[in-house]
Structure formats: structure tokens, C-alpha cells
Structure 1
């Protein structure tokens, strides 16, 4: 009988110990779950911090404008539309770039500093927001940029003389006639510039290898016709940018609405 009682006591003790262990295990599981939740929350905070701290992707294009320092050469591009939000483009150069050839200041390494920061969206014939703001503009030692406009300053001509002329500039004058590109003009003479954007794709530019025109767009519709082209212009015709965050402040011209798809 004593042996049976001892066995019964041992079983009871074992059951009690098992219950204690089960309770401890449940407590540990609950603590681990709390810890997992806290770790997950911290990981989410870290991920958000990294996302917020990561700078916007930048696409750089370095260009050299040859030709003559006494001429300005066209540069043109098309901002993405609303699907990309506000697009950014900066044209810059360090003041000492090209100090080996010294095209502007023969006696100094200080050639020309430039920082031109633009924001924009789409182009004149697009159905999206369609604007360009000059956010910042800074030049030092020598002037290098001109004719900054949401509508690329260009010249125009008819393709078909029997049709009406579209837009302005039929007299051959330089003006903001272009409805598919934005643009500006940069000083030549072998100067180096850096284009920094937040969207993919290079800007187009006249490299100054000749003085020939570059045809940029042409169309001949049922009732109208036009060809837009750009070419170097004398530096004496320079028009300095006006930094202003008001849309269209530097481009008041509004073209008529096309009567057919471009």
C-alpha cells in the first residue's frame, strides 16, 4: 500500500510539474509574440525611414557645346506628363570647368558658373498640367544660358504652301512657337554642362559642330502645315532667364488648338 501511495504521489507531482511547465510555456509564447510584434513594428519604422531618407533618383548627362563662344546653341526636351508628377531638370556647370582651354577668360581659371533649376510637366499640345517654373537661376563670371521657355524658342516655316500656317513665326523670327518641346540655349566655345533630371532619357542639343539648323518637328494636316527648326543664335541676342515660381511667367504665347491629331 505504501508503494502505491508513493506512485500516486509521484504521478500527482508530475502532473503539477507538467501544469507549471505548460503555464510557463504559454507565458513564454505570449512574451515571444509580443516581442515579434515589437520587432515587426520596428522593422516597419526602419523601412519607412529608409524610404523617406533615400534621395530621388538622378539621371545625369554631361554635354559639351562646341562652336563659337559668340553663339548660343539650342537644347530641347519634353517633360513627362502627370503620370510622373512634377519633373525636375537642372542645368549646371562648375565655375572652373574648361579652365584648361579657357574659352571665356583667357587669363583665369574662373570661366563660368551656372545653376538653372527647372520644374515642369508635359508640353503645350499635351492634355496634362503643362507648365514650367524657373525655380532657381544663378550665373557667375560669364553668362551662358538664354531663351529658357516652356515652348522651345524656334523658327517656323510652311511645308505645304497651299495650306494655312500653324502658330506663329511665319516671318522667320525666333520665338516660343514650339508645341512639342521645351528648351533653352547654351553658350558654345567648348563649354561643358551637366544636365540632371529625375526622369530617364537624354535631352537633345546642338553640339556646335556646325552652324546648320536642326529640324525638330513637322506636320501637314488637312487645313494647316508647319515645320519648326532651331539653329545657333548670336550671343548678343541673349535673353536672361527670370527666376519666378509663377507658371508661364516667361512664356505668355498661347498657340491655337490643333484641329487634327499631331
Structure 2
């Protein structure tokens, strides 16, 4: 092969290499654009948009006094039933709790709730306990469609109303609640919609209504006062609300 032919071959190979490199660059750009588009879709798409049910997990670590229950206020969505599970594995916080650092059997709980909306909303609104099973120690209490709290007037000299008379109990018209026991314990709350679950301390304000001159104040309770819930949810800690199968009577011929 002559020098001229060799030069032409090298030039052809170089041109082909440049073409391939250019195509690879175009492919990389398209792949990166597709990745960016997919990540954006993942960030903005809810399970309901693809005919699925969401699963949103919140983990909470509750410090504070081991015989005090701290409120978690939340507001359920409307348009479909909200499903909430409050779960605690019995070994969580082994060796790092305020109860018994030598035992692995600290406390277990599974509380399953179903409901929709909140007291003030005009839609069908409710909160019911399907399961409340707790072992070794009670760690979940005060399940209430209306959250357990205090109510105070924003302006002591302002107008009175049906909403701002000083009171304590299951009275929050804006939020539901349950309470979690302190003592350095971990809990996992799972829901089918993106709800906010937050532990409040005694005296924290969690809602106010300027026009009606009142605010709701978080209240904790002691172990002795920690019933399972309000009148619709006070089932104790060994409750399973699913119906057992009915066995047909044996026919004797």
C-alpha cells in the first residue's frame, strides 16, 4: 500500500471515529435528558396518579418522661378513606431506653386506624380503630377523631364564642390525634396519603383561628390517664376488630 493510500485510510478512520464520537455525545445527551425527565416524574407523581395506593412512612423517636404520653396531631384528607398504622417492634431501642436496658422485650404495638377528613369539614368525617394490640407496655393512647387538647382565647379581652371557652378534652375540630409514650422509644407511622405526623410538647400551640379568637394547645397525659381513645376508639390494648369466620353448625342425620 502506497503512502498516499495509507494516508487516505488514516483520514477515513479518523473521520469515522469523529462521527462515532459525535453520535455517542448525542446519545449521552438524550439519555441524560430522559433520566432528568424520569426523576422529575418520580418527584411529582403520586401513587393515585398511576392507579396505585400510596405508602408514606414517618419515623418518630419520642424522648421525654417514660410515663408521659405526647400528642401527635394530624389532619386526614378527604375524597377517599385514610389508612394509618402506628407500629412499634418490640426490640426497638434495646439497651437505649428509659425502661429496661437489659431486656429485648421493650414494648410492641400495632394500631390500625381508618377515617376521613376532620370534624369541621362538611364531608363524611370519622376516625375508627380497626386494631389496637399492644404488648409488654402500653405505648399508644388517646386515639381521637377530635384531638385531645386545651383551648384558649387569643385575646383574653376579645369576644367570647362557642369555640373559645376554656376547656380540655377531645375538642380539636381541626385535627385528629393519638399519643405516643416517651422514654426514648421509636415508632413508625405508615399512611396511604402524605399526612404530617409530629410529636408536640405540653403547651405547644398547634392551631389558631383569629376570627373566632381561639387557639388549640397541646396537652400530654400521664400513664394513669392514658385510655385507648375517645368514645368511638376506647377498645383497650388487645382489640382486633375484624370479624372471625363463622363456622356452620354440624348437621347430624
Using structure 1 for the length normalisation, give the TM-score: 0.64
1:98-177 equivalence runs, <5 A: 98-160=93-155, 161-167=157-163, 170-171=166-167, 174-177=168-171
Residues 197-244 of structure 1: per-residue CA shift (max 9 Å, x gap): 0001431222xxxx55210111232xx4211110333222211248xx
> Contact 2:97–2:183 (CA<8 Å) still a contact in 1?
no
Q: Which runs of 5+ in 2 are unaligned?
A: 1-50, 235-253
CA distance in 1, matches of 2:170, 2:65: 24
Matched, 1:187 2:181: yes
CA distance in 2, matches of 1:102, 1:71: 14
User: RMSD value over aligned CA atoms?
Assistant: 2.1
Give 4+ residue runs of structure 1 displaced > 4 Å after superposition: none
CA distance in 2, matches of 1:119, 1:136: 10
> Contact 2:146–2:172 (CA<8 Å) still a contact in 1?
yes
Matching residue of 2:6: none
Q: Give, in angstroms, the shift of residue 164 of structure 1.
A: 1.0
> Contact 1:79–1:120 (CA<8 Å) still a contact in 2?
yes
Q: Give, in angstroms, the shift of residue 169 of structure 1.
A: 5.9
Name which of 219, 224, 234 aligns with 1:236: 224
Q: Give, in angstroms, the shift of residue 193 of structure 1.
A: 0.2
CA distance in 2, matches of 1:64, 1:187: 10
- Secondary structure of 2:224's counterpart equals helix
Query: In 2 relative to 1, CA 111–199 (structure 1 residues): closer, same or farther, beyond 3 Å?
Result: same
Matching residue of 2:64: 67
- Secondary structure of 1:109's counterpart equals coil
Q: Give, in angstroms, the shift of residue 56 of structure 1.
A: 3.2
Residues 4-57 of structure 1: per-residue CA shift (max 9 Å, x gap): xxxxxxxxxxxxxxxxxxxxxxxxxxxxxxxxxxxxxxxxxxxxxxxxxx9733
CA distance in 2, matches of 1:165, 1:154: 18
Name which of 192, 199, 202 aligns with 2:196: 202
Residues 149-169 of structure 1: per-residue CA shift (max 9 Å, x gap): 001100011112331143376
> Contact 1:99–1:109 (CA<8 Å) still a contact in 2?
yes
> Contact 1:72–1:188 (CA<8 Å) still a contact in 2?
yes
Matching residue of 2:215: 227
- Secondary structure of 1:213's counterpart equals coil
Q: Which runs of 5+ in 1 are unaligned?
A: 1-53, 243-247, 252-262
> Contact 1:119–1:132 (CA<8 Å) still a contact in 2?
yes
Query: In 2 relative to 1, CA 220–241 (structure 1 residues): closer, same or farther, beyond 3 Å?
Result: closer
